[in-house]
């Protein structure tokens, strides 16, 4: 990749099947579930040549966010304890909240921006987002940047 390369964050659901399978192969190898590229590509149903074509160009977001500060945008119901429960989740997963900005609630919904240091987290950013999204009162969670 040259110095002029640009990077993008793209939601998984719009990725082509070959890119999803490339990520899965990398995950299988990294986790130790399979020993070789050949075993991994057979397991996900793709060719080795396709894997080698894309492997250096597609990465999970967590590869680049580990140990960095990420900023999340949340839409939360204006109910007691919703933000507190999210902060408890972040703390339990060893994330360190750096900033919290909350807007005034409008029609029962408040916008919240959180900056989180992920340096000591032992789980992926995807898992963190899933844990937050599953909380009662959370309407939307997005990554604004890192």
Q: Domain 65-145 has what CATH class?
A: alpha beta
Domain boundaries, the chain: 14-59, 65-145
What was the pLDDT predicted at 32?
87
Give pTM, 2 decimals. 0.58
In this prediction, residue 144 has a pLDDT band, given cuts at 50, 70 and 90, of: confident
Q: Are strands 96-102 and 138-145 parallel, antiparallel or unpaired?
A: unpaired
Percentage of the chain exceeding pLDDT 70: 90
How far, in Å, are 24, 114, 117, 121 from residue 12 at the CA level? 12, 23, 24, 22
SS3 104: coil
pLDDT higher than 90, residue 137: yes
Q: What is the DSSP string of 6-75?
A: ------GGGS-HHHHHHHHHHHHHHHTS-SSHHHHHHHHT--HHHHHHHTTT---HHHHHTTSEEEEEEE
* Tens digits of residue pLDDT in 7-52: 677 888 899 999 999 999 988 988 889 989 999 999 999 999 999 9
pLDDT higher than 60, residue 1: no
In this structure, of 7-11, 54-58, 61-65, the range with the lowest mean pLDDT score is 61-65
d(CA 143, CA 13) in angstroms, rounded, equals 16
SS3 142: strand
User: Alpha-carbon dihedral of residues 112, 114, 23, 53, nearest 10 degrees?
Assistant: 100
């Amino acid at each position: 990749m040259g110095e002029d390369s640009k990077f993008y964050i793209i939601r998984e659901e719009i990725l082509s099947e070959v890119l999803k399978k490339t990520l899965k192969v990398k995950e299988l190898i990294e986790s130790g579930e399979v020993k070789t590229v050949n075993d991994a590509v057979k397991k996900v149903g793709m060719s080795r040549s396709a894997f080698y074509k894309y492997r250096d160009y597609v990465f999970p977001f967590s590869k680049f966010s580990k140990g960095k500060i990420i900023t999340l945008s949340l839409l939360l119901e204006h109910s007691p304890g919703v933000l507190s429960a999210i902060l408890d989740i972040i703390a339990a997963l060893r994330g360190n909240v750096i900033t919290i900005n909350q807007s005034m609630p409008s029609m029962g919904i408040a916008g919240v921006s959180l900056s989180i240091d992920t340096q000591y987290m032992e789980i992926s950013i995807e898992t963190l987002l899933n844990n937050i999204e599953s909380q009662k009162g959370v309407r939307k969670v997005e990554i604004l940047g890192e």
